[in-house]
Each structure stands twice: as structure tokens, then as C-alpha cells.
Structure 1
Amino acid sequence: MGSLTRLVVFLSIFATITLKLNSQYFLPITKHEPTNQFYTTLNIGSVTKSPVNLLLDLGTNLTWLNCRKLKSVSSLRLVTCQSSTCKSIPGNRCAGKSCLYKQPNPLGLIPDVTGRVVQARVSISTTDGGKFLTPVSVPRLTFSCAGEKALHGLPPLVAGVLALSPGSSSFTKQVTSAFNVIPKFSLCLPSSGTGHFYIAGVHYFIPPFNNSSFPIPMIFTPIRGVDSGDYLLNVLNIYVGGTSLSLKPNLVNSGAKLSTVVPYTVLHTDIYNALAESFTLKAKAMGISMVPSVAPFKHCFNARTAGKKLTGPNVPVIEIGLPGRMGEVKWWFYGANTMVKVKETVICLAFIDGGKKPKALMVIGTHQVQDHMLEFDFSRTVLAFSESLLLQNTSCSTWPSQK
């Protein structure tokens, strides 16, 4: 009987581990078209649930919102200054017995957001990768309450910012810790419609990738800068139409920062000029003619001379060379991600000249990563990314049929 008991216990533990490895959670991603910003909807509260829209930000450490947007604040629990929760948040402050937290505002007119730290029950859905399943609750999600002024500059429907930074207090870290699941999350930003936000994701059901036997092909590269609160990629080379740009090593070695709030990739002037010059020469060789610039873009083209493909305008492909398991891997960006339509017959190179002294030499914006699956895996400190889903005649806003 002793052996049988041990076997039952072992099988029970094994089943629990398997369940947690395969558990995953889902939130929708909505694109706010006028501002090109992305937000998700979170249900906060225990009895009276309040759906609030929160901007997705890879650089925010602690989720914050205007708590007056909630239907009821009675379910909020103030975090005291002497509590272990407050002490676990780097850079915490105190106002009497209340815990405060100050952090940068990614878009607002005021540079910083200071708010009282609170906790509340938050509901999210489990998923098999394709549809919503059983709703589950994070009993005590920690976030801060900000004032109305902090919302200035955010899309009108948005009540705050969802923290997706590598920090221990971020939304994704709190969820994966609460459920004891794989510490990773995945984003599939839609070019329109509703996209996919997975936490601890295993299977991503975006047709034709409908099951684990036919997964989305992913490419892996290390993430650095996690300790500083950023997601940085080690850039080895930048290519335009297959030709490597001639850049000073210090411009490339500084890496590229990933952002979910910067609409278009921002480059140091020297990188931008090299990219734009090479792109323009390659485009001209393809018979694509230039037209006057349209602010904020500097290099624009006649859309009628470019032609069209599944992946957008038929223009020179831009690639970023990154370190991989067996050497350099490439992240390919086609016309849908490198060009933006500004007029009926005008498309522009969707990159911004960031000047000679930007805070970061390269910041990869959301337009470039739309319709790519991105997986941030903290267990291995790697980013997994797919090629453009448009190559498979699908997108981040495609959903499996619900029968």
C-alpha cells in the first residue's frame, strides 16, 4: 500500500505540473486607430466588476489607472507603507501610512505619475489558444490610483496603463506568480480589429495555425536590458533589399529597444539617413518614384508605382540581423510594416528621424511589429518572434471559427 500511495501522490504532482505548464490566459488587444495606440480591457473588482481599458506599455513597472473610472472603489484595498507589498516595489514612497509609487508617464502631458498603491481582485479568462474558457481571478493585483491629469494624452477610452515591463511588479509577472505558471507573455498587435494577448501561452490559435501540431514558426533571440526595465535586442546588422548598411559599430551595438507606445520606429539620424538612402536607391531601381514628403515622414513614394503583395506594398525588404542559437537570424519587415499610407496615392517610409542625441539609438515601434507574434519568455530571457502573419494570408486579428 505504501508504494501505491507514493505512486498516486507522484501522479497527482505530475498532473498538477502538466496543468500549470499548459495553463494560459487571454486578454483582447484593441487598436485605437486615431492615435495608433493599443489597449486591453481588464475587469477589476469582486462583486461589482468594472471593465477598464488600459494602454499596453512595455516600459511601465506598475499598472496605474484613474480609480474614479471604477464602478465601485469599495473593493480597493489600500497598501500600507510598512507592508511587504510596498517594500517589494522598487522606488516606493510613503504618505503617512499609505504606500505611493512614482513612475514615468509614457504618453501624458505630465512627465510622471504618482499614485496611492492599492490591491483589488482582477478577472481574466483562461483559453485553449482559440477561445475564452473559464474566467479566473487574481485575488490581489497590485496597482496604483492616479489622478485625472495623468490621462491627458492617452486615447479617450483609456483609463490608465497596463504594466508589461520586466520588473517584478508588472501585471504579467504578478499573474504568472499568482498562478505559478510559465513566466512569459505574448502579444499579437493587430493592424486593425482585435488582437491577441496571451499570458503563459503555449498554443496560439490563429488560422491556419490551429493546433499544437502546426504551431506558428518562431525565431529566437536573447533579450537584454531586463534589469534596467527595458527589452533590448542585440542588433548585429541592418539590411535593405539584402544589402547590409555601413554603420559605425557603436550605432548598432547599443541595441534596439522594443516599445508598444511608439507608433513608428525611431532611429538615430545617422542610422535613419543610411536606411533611407539605401531604401530610396533600391526603390528607384524597382521603378518606384518619390513624391514630396508628408510630415512627420521624410521619404515618401507614389503608391501606384509600388505594386501590391500579400505583405503590403511591393517595396525593398528591411531586415534586422540578430543573434540566434546557430548564428545570425533575421527579422524581416515587408511593405505592410515598413510603409504607411498617408494619402490615396502616397505611401511613406514608416521610420522617424530621432535626431543626433536620442535617448535610445533605435526604438522599434508598433507599426513595425503589427501582425507578428511576439513572445517574451522570462524563463530563458529570450524573445521569440514570427515572420509577418500576412505571408500566410492571416493576421493578428484573425480568429478561429467558434463551432
Structure 2
Amino acid sequence: MHLLMHLIFIILAFMCYEHKPEGAFVPPYSSVVLPVNKHTDAVKPLYSVQIMTALVNSQYLHANFLIDVDAPFIWHDCILQWNTFQGSCPDNTLCAYPASCEEYQCTDVRTTYSYQNPSCGPVTNDSTIPDWGYCTCPVNVVDPITGSCTQALLNYDEFTVNTSNGRNVFDGLYGAYPNAACASSSTFQSFPANVTGVMALSSSPYALPAYLYDPLKRIMALCLPSNISAPGVMLYGTGPYYLLPQTTVDVTTYLSHTPLLKHSDSFGYFIRVDSILIKTRSIFVPINATTKISTIEPYTTLRSDIYDSVVRRFSKVTKRIPPAKLVAPFGLCFSTSVNGTQVSLKVPDIDFILPDGKKWTVSTTNSIKQITNEVACLAFVDGGATSEDAIVIGTYQLEDNFVVFDLDNSSFGFSSSLLRKKTSCSSFNFTLTNSP
């Protein structure tokens, strides 16, 4: 029975996209689109994508999944039911079809695409589902907020997203059928409210991008919002991409590109930074240093040798700004109050100098964090002397920056701050439009 259900899922996966034989109709969409929400009710700012899950009474349920560009596979709050097509799923519960411990996906995830964490113990095939007759597939998952390890059960899942031409959101839907994992509700206590899963957007073959097929190209655009009142956007597929109010300007024209690098111990995304430039003075970055993109770390982290040089240089070029008492975890803070009135700071840009002379500019809105009305701090933190990655670019530096991961061409595109272009990540038009 479980093999039959497996076959059904495979058939559905191939049905979820349109083939393009000669002379056939070309789909009106070039990408799929998901809203990106910012959450500030956890121990650090986090971001989620909203995705459609089960179809109940002709209406799709929606769930929020934490964005993790490093995670090897998707996992979320659900339970396994081998007879999900018979209406046996309990009310207010998301059910998924189990993967057996005998199937190759189980071994593949456990041995090659599992979470690597010292706190994770061994997994065993000691559980079954009533009336199913096969062993389930426990896999280790790691809470990206606390770092704690727990076990989840591998499944066959189903997600649905809207299609888009980069300008409009269509009512046409696109289905994805990943291997994910079900974890208990208690696993998500550290997560922001109403966030009940982890959406893996890494290069792993079990992350969501691996399940988005033709006619979509393997290009992922991500734009993190800077506030909680309006969503940012994630698009998967080719451009063009448009943000209001500039309805005739393709955002890709703002992008510079640099190679994406592979890291043998990670499914995440890495680039090379040659130096850091602050007001004509270059700060050396060792040639073998790795720079990682993170959607979990809130602030860019620099290894101590690089961090000390950045803070020393930034202090010098901002010496006319009154200092303020340090606020953890920052190492340089400024007074933003003059005679009891808050004033905004204008500080020099920080430029990440990339290969071929490309420059990713971190302007004031992404380099200075306003802590209180009286204090603002340089939003970079010390990662310690032995940090595995010399630089980890955090989410505060990604906000209102349009970034593109081209997985086919191993290229990373970046816009620098959209605010300088009179738009933002919260300016995508999510108004639903009939498919052409």
C-alpha cells in the first residue's frame, strides 16, 4: 500500500507543472511567489514565508515557515497518517503521508542530508503507525533558534503556491511535493507566534528549490522586509521582477553579481569578500576566509581580527559623533539625542569589496541599529577569534536588499539598499489577479 501511495505522489509531482511540447501554450507565469513576514516576538528578529498546505472544505490552509537558507530539509508541525485520503486527519491538524524506513529517501536523508550537530543522537526504526505495518523514518532536526536537537518523522508532503510573472500574483496555483518531516507542536515553542515550521531554501536536494520544476528556472529571489506591517517577497523562477511604485523598472537592472561558492560541510550559500572599505581605507580579509549568507543570524558577524579593524576604522571616521554606553552584543554605540531631541545619524557606507571589483554597499539603514531614542549602534558583532566563517552576513544587512541566488549558474545577485532607489522589499504588489 505504501508503495502505491508513493507512486501517486510521484505522478502528482509530474502533473504539477506544464510540459512544453512544440507549439504548446507557454504558461503566463515565470515564477512562483510567496509573501515574506518579519517577526520580532522571538529572541531575535526572524522571517517566514507563508505557504498553502492542506485543502479543507475547498479552502487551502496557510502556514508560516521560518526561512533557513542553510537547512538540509523542510520540517514542520504535523502528524503522519497513512490513510490521509480517507478523511482520517483530526480537526485542526496537518497530516502527511509517512516515508518508510525501507525507502531510499530515509537512508539518503539520514546519511547525507541530515542536520550535523553534536547534540543529535542516533536514530532508530522502532516506531510504526497503527494499521500501516511499516516502520517510520525518524530523522534529526535542529532548532535554528536554540540549537537544540530533536527527532521528526520523514514524510511525503504537499505545498501549494501562487504563480506570478514578476509583476502580478495570479490565481493559478503550483504544487510542490517534497520529502519533509513532521515534528510535534512542542518543538516550536522557541519560534515566533504562528510560525510552525522550517522552510529549507538551501542547495540540498531535499530543500524546497529542488521540488520546483519546469517551466521554473532554478533562480531564487529573496527580499526581506524591514518592518512587521507589510510583507517582503520571495520569487522562484526567472525575472523580470517589479516593485512599486516603479512599475516599469525591472529590479534585476539594479543587481551586481558575484560567484556562489560551495562549502563541503554546508548546504548554505557562500561568497568571497576580498576586503571591507570604509571611507577610502581598505580592511584586509584573508584570501581563504569564507563569507556565508544567513537568514537566521540577525547581524553580520565578523571574526575578531576583522571585527576589531572594522570597529577601529569606523570609530575614527565617526569621531565627531558623541559615543554612548555599549549595548550588547554591539561593540560601538553612539548618542542620538541632542538636548532631549532624537537625531538621525549619517555615517559613511561600508563596502564589501568582491571579486572583479564588485561592491556590495551597506548604507546607514543597514549598518546602524537604533536601540533607543538616545542610542544607536553599529550593527556588526564580534564572532570570536575562532569563528568557522570569517564573515556571516546577517538579516539586518539583508533587509530592503534584493538578493538573487542563481542555482544553475552558481551566481549571487545583490542590489544594495532599495531605499536609495525609492522602493523597498515591502513594495511588491500582492493583489491577486486572474491568470491570463
Indicate the TM-score class for this superposition, using the shorter chain for normalisation: 0.7 to 0.9
Structure with more of its chain in helix, by fraction: 1
Range with bigger deviation, 60-69 or 182-191: 60-69
Equivalent of 2:69, from 54, 58, 62? 58
Q: Distance in 1 between matches of 2:334 and 2:94?
A: 56
**Deviation digits for residues 58-87 of structure 1 (CA, Å, limit 9, x no counterpart):** 111111112169956575211112334435
Matching residue's letter, 2:236: I
The answer on whether the counterparts of 1:79 and 1:98 sit within 8 Å (CA) in structure 2 is yes
Q: Distance in 2 between matches of 1:391 and 1:99?
A: 49
The structure-2 alpha-carbon separation of the partners of 1:72 and 1:154, relative to structure 1 and needing over 3 Å to count, comes to: closer
Q: Does 1:114 align with 2:121?
A: no
Structure 1: gaps spanning 5 or more residues: 1-10
Q: Distance in 1 between matches of 2:231 and 2:345?
A: 23
Q: Distance in 1 between matches of 2:203 and 2:108?
A: 14
Structure 2: gaps spanning 5 or more residues: 1-19, 80-88, 115-122, 127-134
Counterparts in 2 of 1:3-152, with a 5 A limit? 12-13=21-22, 19=27, 23-34=30-41, 35-47=44-56, 49-67=60-78, 75-89=95-109, 90-91=112-113, 95=125, 97-108=135-146, 110=148, 112-138=149-175, 140-152=177-189
| 1:180, distance to aligned residue in structure 2 (A) | 4.5
Equivalent of 1:268, from 279, 300, 303? 303
The structure-2 alpha-carbon separation of the partners of 1:300 and 1:161, relative to structure 1 and needing over 3 Å to count, comes to: same
Q: Does 1:171 align with 2:200?
A: no
Kindly tell me the number of residue pairs found equivalent between the two proteins: 377
The answer on whether the counterparts of 1:188 and 1:396 sit within 8 Å (CA) in structure 2 is yes
Q: Which residue of 1 aligns with 2:132?
A: none
Q: Distance in 2 between matches of 1:180 and 1:86?
A: 28
The structure-2 alpha-carbon separation of the partners of 1:219 and 1:109, relative to structure 1 and needing over 3 Å to count, comes to: closer
Q: Distance in 2 between matches of 1:102 and 1:256?
A: 26
| 1:212, distance to aligned residue in structure 2 (A) | 6.5
Q: Does 1:299 align with 2:327?
A: no
The answer on whether the counterparts of 1:266 and 1:351 sit within 8 Å (CA) in structure 2 is yes
Q: Distance in 2 between matches of 1:281 and 1:120?
A: 54
Q: Distance in 2 between matches of 1:101 and 1:210?
A: 45
Counterparts in 2 of 1:327-366, with a 5 A limit? 327-366=356-395
Q: What's the TM-score, normalizing by structure 2?
A: 0.79
CA RMSD of aligned residues (A): 2.8
The structure-2 alpha-carbon separation of the partners of 1:215 and 1:235, relative to structure 1 and needing over 3 Å to count, comes to: closer
Counterparts in 2 of 1:134-213, with a 5 A limit? 134-138=171-175, 140-174=177-211, 176-177=212-213, 179-192=214-227, 193-211=230-248
Q: Does 1:319 align with 2:351?
A: yes
The answer on whether the counterparts of 2:233 and 2:428 sit within 8 Å (CA) in structure 1 is no
The answer on whether the counterparts of 1:260 and 1:365 sit within 8 Å (CA) in structure 2 is yes
The structure-2 alpha-carbon separation of the partners of 1:71 and 1:275, relative to structure 1 and needing over 3 Å to count, comes to: farther
| 1:336, distance to aligned residue in structure 2 (A) | 0.5
Q: Distance in 1 between matches of 2:268 and 2:176?
A: 28
Equivalent of 1:242, from 273, 280, 292? 280
| 1:238, distance to aligned residue in structure 2 (A) | 0.8
| 1:288, distance to aligned residue in structure 2 (A) | 1.7
Q: What's the TM-score, normalizing by structure 1?
A: 0.85
| 1:51, distance to aligned residue in structure 2 (A) | 1.5
The answer on whether the counterparts of 1:322 and 1:330 sit within 8 Å (CA) in structure 2 is yes
